[in-house]
Amino acid sequence: MASSLRLNSTLKLNDGLSIPRLGLGVYLTQSADAIKHALQFGYRHIDTAQWYENEEVVGEGFKASGMKREDVWITTKIWDTNHGYNQTTKTLDESLKKAGLDFFDLVLIHSPNPGKEKRLETYRALIDAKKQGKIKSAGVSNYGVHHIKELLAQFPNDPPSINQIEISPFFQRKDIVTECRKHNIALQAYSPLGKGAFVDRPELHKIGEKYKKSPAQVLIRWSLQQDFIVLPKSSNEERIKANADLYDFELSKQDIDTLNAMETGKGVTWDPTKAP
Ligand code: A2P
């Protein structure tokens, strides 16, 4: 069955912006070439963070790609130790400088771990940065249901556009997904491949064989068909290409049901969504 999704398909956010549905995760990537190749191959979205210490590398790769700034979506995230109004403002300026950019498309609070007061002040700084044109969109990451409720109670007129969390068929986060959807907050799925741990699973091979696709492609396609924005990470040119070769097939309802039945309730990374 032909797929209506394309590599340049976007999702409309609650602030009116359109974000590319597939992004390149760059945790641990220190190769500007990897970023350049991804953009030349057709990716239009790169997801970095202060914590990854590669905002410079992302900026370099973007410049080397020759792409126009308005054609590429670039996200960063405010790290836990940079929470608070002043520190967020200061380090956001530093991140822009490191990346060599005038603005970020999206800035997320990386985690709720620093506590209520800090995360609300951090978000206030992001809203002000948005008014100043330093960022286009403000969101959160690793927020649980209670963090989302807390944020919406404090900023009813400036809801986050996105919550980026670990999601895969093995860890579907239904409570968080339901809460975000109730408020039109888009979901970004990180570690869709379980940090690589899921790519040899025989049950995924079996599904993939029907479409001549790999387990990684099945997992990424599952995320797209759940209406998530998906962020597979790779710094390998071949795998970067393969992870975007998703648009000539569509998982059947039966295969989606089979994948949905793989829930384990456990993730493979940290889980700040339970932080007080
Ligand atoms: P590499 O960067 O060498 O490609 P996740 O996105 O779930 O965090 O997974 C990232 C991990 O999965 C990385 O170790 C990455 O390694 C590996 N990986 C990415 N794409 C593929 C793929 N298509 N097949 C196998 N492993 C992959």
Domains annotated for the chain, with CATH where assigned, are 18-198+228-238 (3.20.20.100)
Whole-number Å distance between alpha carbons of 93 and 77: 12
Kindly give the distance from the C-alpha atom of residue 240 to the centroid of ligand 1, in angstroms, as a whole number: 9
Q: Which residue has the tokens 């799925």?
A: 189
What pairing do the DSSP bridges indicate for beta strands 18-20 and 10-12? antiparallel
pLDDT tens for residues 102-151?
999 999 999 999 999 999 999 999 999 999 999 999 999 999 999 999 99
Kindly give the distance from the C-alpha atom of residue 25 to the centroid of ligand 1, in angstroms, as a whole number: 10
Q: Give yes or no for residue 191 CB within 6 A of ligand 1.
A: yes
pLDDT tens for residues 20-70?
999 999 999 999 999 999 999 999 999 999 999 999 999 999 999 999 999
Cβ-based neighbours of 218, under 8 Å, separated by 6 or more: 204, 207, 208, 211, 251, 255, 259
Kindly give the distance from the C-alpha atom of residue 250 to the centroid of ligand 1, in angstroms, as a whole number: 21
DSSP string for residues in 187-224: EEEE-TTGGGTTTT-HHHHHHHHHHT--HHHHHHHHHH
In testing the pocket of ligand 1, which one of 167, 171, 193 has its CB within 8 Å of the most ligand atoms?
Answer: 193
Catalytic site positions: 52
Q: Does the predicted model carry a pTM greater than 0.75?
A: yes
Q: Give yes or no for residue 195 CB within 6 A of ligand 1.
A: yes
- pLDDT, position 142: 98
Q: Which band of pLDDT confidence, cut at 50, 70 and 90, is reported for residue 1?
A: very low
Rg (CA), the chain: 18
Given a contact cutoff of 8 angstroms between Cβ atoms, the answer to whether 250 and 3 are in contact is yes
Nearest Cα to 168, choosing from 130, 132, 215? 215
pLDDT tens for residues 168-179?
999 999 999 999
Closest C-alpha residue for ligand 1 atom 19 = 234
Q: Which residue has the tokens 């990716």?
A: 43
pLDDT tens for residues 182-220?
999 999 999 999 999 999 999 999 999 999 999 999 999
Closest C-alpha residue for ligand 1 atom 4 = 234
Count how many Cα atoms sit within 13 Å of the Cα of residue 46 in the half-sphere of its side chain.
35
Q: Give yes or no for residue 188 CB within 6 A of ligand 1.
A: no
